[in-house]
Every structure is written in structure tokens, then in C-alpha cells.
Structure 1
Amino acid sequence: MKTGFDSPTLGRSGLLVLLAGQLLPMIDFSIVNVALDAMSATLHASSIQLALIVAVYGIAFAVSLATGGRMGDNYGRRRVFTLGVVLFGAASLLCGVANSVWLLLLARALQGIGAALVVPQILATLHVCLHGREHTRAIGLYGGIGGLAFIVGQVLGGFLIFANIGGYGWRSVFLINIPLCLLIVLLASRTIPETKKSRQVSIDLSGTLLLAGAIGCLLVALALGPLLHWSWPCILLLAAFPLLLNRLWWVEVTLENNQGSPLLPPSLIRLNGVRFGLSIAVLFFSCWSGFMFAVALTLQSGLGMTPFQSGNAFIVLGTAYFLGSMYSTRAVEKWGKLTTLLTGCTLQMAGLLALMATFQIAWPDVGALALGPATALIGLGQSFIVSCFYRIGLSDVPKDHAGAGSALLSTVQQAAFGLGPMLLGTVYTLVLQQHGNYKTAVLAVLIAEWILMLVLVVRAVISRHQIPALPSQDAARDHRTRSRSG
């Protein structure tokens, strides 16, 4: 490994700067949800356009993620990290001054690209610069940032809109990024060592463009379909989606056969563990982001909550997720990956049923207190599922392909995050248009999510016979082995 230093070291201050860099783009997944109603009023955006504002960030993040990782390997991780933070800050400024939905969509896409330059450099730098207990502790902090970012995003977004500092309203949820980005850029050069690979790896530009085209066709079709009553242009875009995926597969196969470095390595996709991990990514993470979009919009537009009240309504969910994340490693060691995953699915599905009952019984007097028990179950279940995602997905990936496997899973994960608001948002919009009732619309989304989670459970039960690394008794087997050796 070639580095900018003879012996690259990462101190506590450098670790904090890296984690701040990770927190920044992750907050933007959740902070926008509490600003949806205010955006709609200012920009006259429809519910589909609001879903696009949420989704385009995740899509741009997904299709640029692997390329961002390769750029860091080739040109220096600190350099690309800093470039990503600068781009993210500039895009945040553009979001903050946008006077139309389409300009905001462009700015959100640029934000996603900036985030994709930032995030891969963080984990890579931790792996290169830290060892032993310091490495373990840093990875634990890295994993827990997700729950923390969720809480901070919801509460901070609601507070900023409520405070209306400088009269900027919802725009402040983007403008707040600018001073934070400047501070990170100033500190990065002083605290983060430069590292990169000794041999450059080619960037799969054709694969990236085909993936972007495929997801873009699906995204635009889902966005315009309800508005254009599924006319022939929408059908044409939907038809192009599988064709582009098929072309992407053959391009990746050809590149891998020629000893290249494909964006989505076919040899890894053929592994049972990776396939199951991709199933988790598509089913769970699309549900997660779609759920957040639909419930946030319901709380504000349907129940008349302020952004501050809406943000506070998710505190219990975020706290449960964070606490569950802290316990999840112990749960996996005690129960095994598959049992932990199924436990998470069970908790999530029970929480969804409880949330349906809460909306049905308490509507329209649904407050944060009433939502607490159901959202606590959902948050706890989510934390268990997420804790198993990479463990299962990388369970049979060779160690020397761990980086490519992680990039593959992350790419599909972020794509699912982006598509979720469009998929469940389309259900939400169609039901809302037909019934004109927010309660019916959100219940339809929760039912759809429950069914998708049931599909994941069935997939998990089937996979216990297909994937040797997944048996629910793997922890018990390890314990028996240790007992015999003792």
C-alpha cells in the first residue's frame, strides 16, 4: 500500500473529522423528510415530485459509489474525500437557493455524487491506518453513526424550520451544511493522512452509465406514470429497464473475463451469500426509505404537524435503532446471523401492524406519544436487520474480494434507498388520488411494506439450506467448538 506517509497514522482528531464527514451525507437522507410539506408549499411540488427530491439523492449516491471508491484508491483518499466535501457543500448551497423543483433535483443529484466521493474513503482510511482495538472501536463508531444520523437529521431539520433562522425556512436544512463542510475541509488536510493503492485500478465507466440509465428509466417511469396515466412513454421507459440491466450484465461479464474491474462483478453476484444480501438490500432498504417518506408526509400534510413536531415523532424510532445497533453484535454472536435477521423482521412487522392500528384507532389525534410504542419496535427491528446485512452479504466472499463485495452491496443498498420513495410513494399517491384520504394512503403503504418484509422472511427461510455460512446455529456451534478445545 502506497501512502503519502512512510507510516500512515490516524489520530483521534482525524477520526472525528472522518466521522463528521460520514455524518454529513447520512443526515441528508433523513433531514429532507421533515421539510417536505414546506417545500411543497414554496415550490408547488406534487407528492411525486417530493418523492423525486428524496429519491434522486440516493440514486446519484448509488451509481457513483463504486467510482468514488476507485478514485480514492487511485488518486488519494484524503484528496477525494476533500473534493467530495467541497462538492457536497456547493450542491447544498444550490439546494438552498433553488427556486424550482427541477433546479432542486439537479442540486440533490450533485449532493449524491459528492456523498459518493466522501463515504468510501472513510472506511478505507480506517482499514489502512488503524489496527487492533483502535480499528475495532472505530468500526463500531462507524456502524453506530447511522442511528445517530437518523436522530440528528429528523430533530435538527424540524428545529431549523421551526426556528426559521434568517427567514430561510426549509432552505436552512441545506444551508446548514455549508459551514460544516468548510470546517471539515480545513481540518482534513491537518488531521487525515493521505493513502492510496500502489497500483491504479481502472474505473468501469460503461457499467456506471448503464446502471444509471437503468435506474433512471425506472425512476422516471414511476414518477411520471401516475401523472401521465401510464401512457406509452412511461411504458417504454419501463420496458427499457430490463433491457439495460441485461446489457449491463453482459458488459460486466465481458469486462471480468478480460481481467478488468467491473462495477458489479458477476462472479460475486453468483455467490449465494451475496445474492441473499442483495435481496435484503432491495426489499428492506427500499421499504425503509419509502416508509420514512410516506409517514413524514402524512404527519405534516395529513395530520397538520409542524416540521418540528414531525421530527420529534421519530425520536423514539431513532433511539431504539441506535440502542439496538449497540446490542446487535452481541445478538449475532449469541443467536447467529439468520436468527438475528428473522428476529429483526419479526419486530419490524409487529411494529408495522402496531402502527397501522395506531393510525386506525387514534386518527386524527395521532401524536408523538401515541406513535412511540410502534416506532420503537420498528427501530429495534431495523437495527437487527441492518446489522446482518453486510455479515450475510459477505459471508462467502473471498477475503481478497471483500472490497469489491462491499462496494457491490453498498451500491445496491443506496439504489434501494433512492427507489424506495418512488416505489412506495407511487402506492401512496395512487391511493391518495383515489380516496383523497391520508390515513388510507399511509395504511396502504404500511400494508405494502409488511408484504415486502414477509417476502424477505420467506427468502431467509429458504436460504438457510442454500448458504452454508448462514445457519442460525453458527454461534452455538462455535461455542461448542471452544468448549471442546478448552
Structure 2
Amino acid sequence: MTAGITGRAADSAAIRPGAWIALSACLIAVFMQMLDLTIVHTAVPALALDLRADGPAELLIVSVYGLTFACTLPTAARLGDLLGRYAVFTTALSGFAAASVWCGTASSAGELALARGSAGVAAALVSAQTIAILTGEFPERMHATVFGVYGAVAGLAGMAGPLLGGALVDADAFGLGWRTVFLINIPLAGIAMTLARRQLATVGDATDDRPRQPYRRRVDRWTLLLRRLDIGGAVLSAVGLGLLIYPLTFGRALGWPPITLVLLGLSIPVLAVFGWGQYRRARGGGEPLVRLELFGDRGFAVGAVLTALFYGVFTALLFTVSVAVQSGLGWSASRAGLVMLPFAVGAVAGALSSPILMALWGTRALTVGVTVFAVALGAIASTVHTAGPDLDIRELTGPVLAAGAGMGWFAAPLPAVMLARVVHRATGSASGIVPTVQQIGSALGVAVLGTVFFAHCREGTAQSYLTAITAVLWIMAALSALLAILTFAFPRRQP
């Protein structure tokens, strides 16, 4: 077995005091983060008109949040280990609320992009703590249930973003228009901070496993903190991830200029140097930002591959469907949102029922979930191909609902399966790796499948868009079938 990763000590049968308060805070936080990722899409036309933003500025406003989010995650997870996860969680929530106020009061496109980038950094600091907090607060026997609820809320928020964004812009409350899509974060962040601080005041930072050392001088404490943080590794990880994700995010829209390919190429040696440095630091008895030995556990390694592939398919699905029905068929944003509404319902139902399937079938429940997802995508592709421009969204209700349920059955329990043999001291690093892999997969999926999609709809007609989305849906179904096969690489166990 891999030293330090497998062989988790038996969890206490009792749930920690205040664990449900911690869960509530984390659920609100993940809802807010996922909402902010997608809610801005329907507000872009209004804010672009108000701020006189051109195409590149619009793309930056939409994408910079996810870019800074992904680049900050590894360092954010380590900060939680060093400073205490609740302390970082609550401080970052305050930062996220402040960044949301900045977004909602921005007077130019450049200022809004900067504010969105700062919100992404704060969101990463929050997100990197949630998995570690929930893993520490609940015994292992509860992880499938907890992550099922967590996945349901995250899926609901991602689906609700475009619908809520359109409703807020149309409502124009207090004459604020598009600004309300950012200002809505303030009460959500306030509630999550209140709950987290109540938990911290009641039982202390139960997830904080830092050594308690009596520092007499503040300067010595911060010097040691910076030394333990591994500043060089933090810079290399941020630069390497930025070189990888930036061209994947912006390359297609920019027409893949040579510089984007150069940046992609540079990401490989930078990330390789980062990985080697983390390995050397761990071998020398230091504390790395990323514990590479996590990937020595088969469950975690297989789960990371599945996470990247699945979120690549899922994010590309949302992107291409939205473009196809709005740009190709001329549907409104609200009607486009209705197409995916059954998906959200199915995802929530699937995530909430996933612990039952895990109890019955163990990790093979993941196979069932992603197989249902693949078959449903094939059914959607067939329906779209048959109906053509006369497509009636009611015909898609059944397969879209099934696709959502398949996603819930697969994606919600996946983190619990990945972390089943990860010891407590490694959950901080794992908590940063999991969302980082999700972001990389999402960027890669949109870049690759988005390129395939636009290659098929160059004519700009409704039929060409339908042809394009049909082709991409079949590719997604095939990739999901591959995911179903890969799930058999998991150890025959349940989390």
C-alpha cells in the first residue's frame, strides 16, 4: 500500500458536534461558487452594452473567473492546512463578498474583468477547503450521503445560473439591471460566514491539523509560515496552470493564434518542473503543495482521470447546447434554460439517491450512472437529428431528465470514492486537486468539443447548428461509454 495514503484509520462512529452546520455552510458556498460561474452568461449582452465592452472584453469577463479559480486552487488547499480550514474558509468568503460588490459597482469592462478575477481567487480559497472540511466533520460511513447532497446542490446551481441570471436582468430591481447577478452573492456569503463562524466558535477548527507551536514573535511565525508554504511551488503551479488553461479557454475564440500553441507547449515543462520540485520536497521531509503520492492510490488516480473526462464532456454539453439553440435556432435565454431544466431535476434526484445505489452496488453504481448518461446523450442526438429545425423541446424532456439522473449517480459519489483510502493529513491536498482536475477537464472539453462544434456550423444556418450539435452529442455519448468502461478500474469496494 502507498505510504501515507492508504490504510485510513477507522472513523469515529459519532458525527462531530455541529457537523450539519458545517455542511450547510459548505452547501451555500458551493451553490454560490457554481452560480457565479454560469449566471454571468445571460447577463453578458446587457453588461456589454452598458460598459461598451467589445468581443474580447466579453470573453475575458466570462472566462477570467474560471481561469483565476483554477490557478489558485493548489496554493489555496495548502493555506488551509497551514492556517486552519475554517479560518481560510470564512476569510475567503468575506473576500468573495467584497469582490462581488466590486463586480456589481464596476464602471468599465476592464474593471469588471479585474473584479471577476479577484472573485475567482476568493472562490478557489473557499472551494479548496470544502471537501477537506466535510471529510473531517463526518465519519467515513456518511461520506457517500454528504457528497451526494453536495453534488446535488452544485449541479442545481450550475443549471440555475442561466435561468436566474435572465430573471434578475429582466427584473431590473432598483434599476441595477445586470449588476444584481453579482450582488446576489452578498447575502449568500453572509449566511455561509455566519454558519461557519458559529461552528468555529462552538467546537473549534476540528479540521485544522497544524502543529501547535508557541511563536513568541510574529515575524518568526510569518517567516516560518512562508517557508512551509513553498512560495516557489505556488508560483510554478499558478504559472503552469495559467499557461495550460488560458489558451484552452481563449484559443478557439481568438482563432488559435500561434501564441496560444506556444503557451500550451510551455505549460508542459513548467508543470513538469513543479511536479519534480514537489517530489523532491516530499522526499526531503518537507511539506509539498501537492502530495503526488495521492496518485499512487488506484482509486484516487482513476477518479482523477474520470473527473477530468466527465467534466470535459459535461461543460462542453452546456456550452454547445446553449450556443446551438440561441445562435442557431434563435431561442431566448430563458427558453434555452428550459431545455436543460429537466437535466437539473434529474441531476438533483440522481445525486440524492446515489448513496442508495452505492450501498447496493458499491463502485459499480458509477458504471450504471455514466452508462445511463451515455445512452441518454445518444437518445438526445437521435431526437435532434430526426426533428431538425422543427424541434419541440417537449420531445427532449425524457432523455434530458435521464442524462441529469445519470450525472447525479456518477458525479455526486465520485469524490467519496476517490477519498476512501486517503488519510486525514492528505485531504487538504486532495481537496485542492479534485476541483483543479475538474477545471482542467472543463477547459479541455470546451476547447476540443467546441472546436468540433464550430467546424460543423460554419454556414450559420439553423440546420448547420443542429448538424453540429448532433455530431458533438454522439462524440459525447461515445466518450461517456468509454468512461463507463474505465470505472471497472476502480477497486471493488464502496467508500
Please state if 1:177 is matched with 2:185.
yes
Query: Within 2, Cα distance between the matches of 1:222 and 1:127?
Result: 32
Q: 1:225 to 1:59 in 2, by over 3 A?
A: closer
Report the residue type matching 1:197 in the other structure: D
Partner of 1:404: 429
| Aligned-partner SS, 2:288 | coil
Per the TM alignment, residue 213 of structure 1 is displaced from its structure 2 partner at its CA by 2.1
What 5-or-longer segments of structure 1 have no aligned partner? 1-7, 479-486
Correspondences of 1:26-425 after superposition (within 5 Å):
26-39=34-47, 52-98=60-106, 100-129=108-137, 141-185=149-193, 188-190=196-198, 192-193=200-201, 194-195=204-205, 196-199=208-211, 202-222=228-248, 225-226=251-252, 229-337=255-363, 339-366=364-391, 368-394=393-419, 397=422, 401-425=426-450
Contact 1:303 1:366 in 2 (8 A): no
Q: Report Cα offsets for 1:101-153 as digits up to 9, x if no partner.
A: 54433322222211122234444444555569988865554343223323543
**Partners of 1:63 and 1:415 within 8 A in 2:** no
Pair 110,176 (structure 1): closer, same or farther in 2 beyond 3 Å: same
TM-score under structure 2 normalisation?
A: 0.80
1:470 and 2:491 aligned:
yes
What CA distance in whole angstroms lies between the structure 2 residues aligned with 1:136 and 1:412?
20
- Gap change, CA 1:310 and 1:93, over 3 Å in 2: farther
Distance 1:162 1:271 in 2: 49
**Unaligned stretches of 5+ in structure 2?**
1-15, 213-224
Aligned residue among 422, 440, 457 for 2:464: 440
In 2: Cα distance, 1:15 partner to 1:223 partner: 32
| Residues 213, 150 of structure 1: alpha-carbon distance in 2 compared, 3 angstrom cutoff | same
Secondary structure in structure 2 of the residue aligned to 1:314: helix
Residue 10 (structure 1) aligned with residue 10 (structure 2): no
**Which residue matches 2:7?**
none
The answer to whether the Cα contact below 8 Å between 2:38 and 2:162 also exists between their aligned partners in 1 is yes
Counterpart of 1:461? 485
Give me the whole-angstrom Cα distance separating, in 1, the residues matched to 2:467 and 2:107: 33
Partner letter of residue 464 of structure 2?
T
The CA deviation string for residues 20-62 of structure 1, in whole angstroms up to 9 with x for no partner, is 2332112223323443554565567677765654443233223
Please say if residues 294 and 442 of structure 1, whose CA atoms lie closer than 8 Å, have aligned partners that are also in contact: no
User: 378-387 or 118-127: which moved more?
Assistant: 118-127
Q: Deviations over 1:160-205 (max 9, x none)?
A: 1232223333332112112333444456444543413342783243
Distance 1:346 1:135, change over 3 A: closer
Give me the whole-angstrom Cα distance separating, in 1, the residues matched to 2:64 and 2:465.
Answer: 23
Structure 1 residues 83 and 410: CA distance shift in structure 2, 3 A:
same
Structure 1 CA distance, aligned partners of 2:420 and 2:346?
Answer: 27
Q: Evaluate the alpha carbon distance shift between residue 64 and residue 313 of structure 1 in structure 2; reply closer, same or farther with a 3 A threshold.
A: same
TM-superposed deviation, 1:225: 4.1
- Give the TM-score normalised by structure 1: 0.81
2:298 touches 2:491 (CA, 8 Å); kept in 1?
Answer: no
Report the identity percentage: 31
The one-letter code of the counterpart of 1:277 is G
Shift of 1:322: 0.6
> What is the CA–CA distance in structure 2 between the aligned matches of 1:47 and 1:422, rounded to whole Å?
18
AA of the residue aligned to 1:470:
P
Q: What is the letter of the counterpart of residue 199 of structure 1?
A: P
Q: Distance in 2 between matches of 1:53 and 1:378?
A: 30
Q: Secondary structure at the match of 2:287?
A: coil
Q: Give yes or no for contact 2:350–2:409 (8 Å, CA) kept in 1.
A: yes
Counterpart-to-counterpart distance in 2, 1:115 and 1:97: 19
Retained in 2: the 8 A contact 1:147–1:319?
Answer: no
1:451 aligns with 2:475: yes
Shift of residue 376, structure 1, vs aligned partner? 0.9
Count of residue pairs brought into register by the alignment: 463
Q: Are 1:35 and 1:170, in contact at CA under 8 Å, matched by a contact in 2?
A: yes
Give SS of 1:259's match.
coil
**CA, structure 1 residues 132+211, in 2 after alignment: closer, same or farther (shift >3 Å)?**
closer
Contact 1:54/1:418 (<8 A) preserved = no
- Structure 1 position 12, deviation (Å): 5.6
SS at match of 2:229: coil
Distance 1:358 1:136, change over 3 A: closer
Q: Distance in 2 between matches of 1:366 and 1:282?
A: 32
CA contact (8 A) 1:363 1:439 kept: yes
Residues 48 and 223 in structure 1, CA contact (< 8 A), matched pair in contact too: no
For 1:376 and 1:419, the matched residues in 2 are separated by 25
- 1:310 CA displacement: 2.9
Cα drift, residue 243 of structure 1: 2.0
CA shift, 1:307, in A, is: 3.0
Q: Is the 8 A contact 1:63 1:208 kept in 2?
A: no
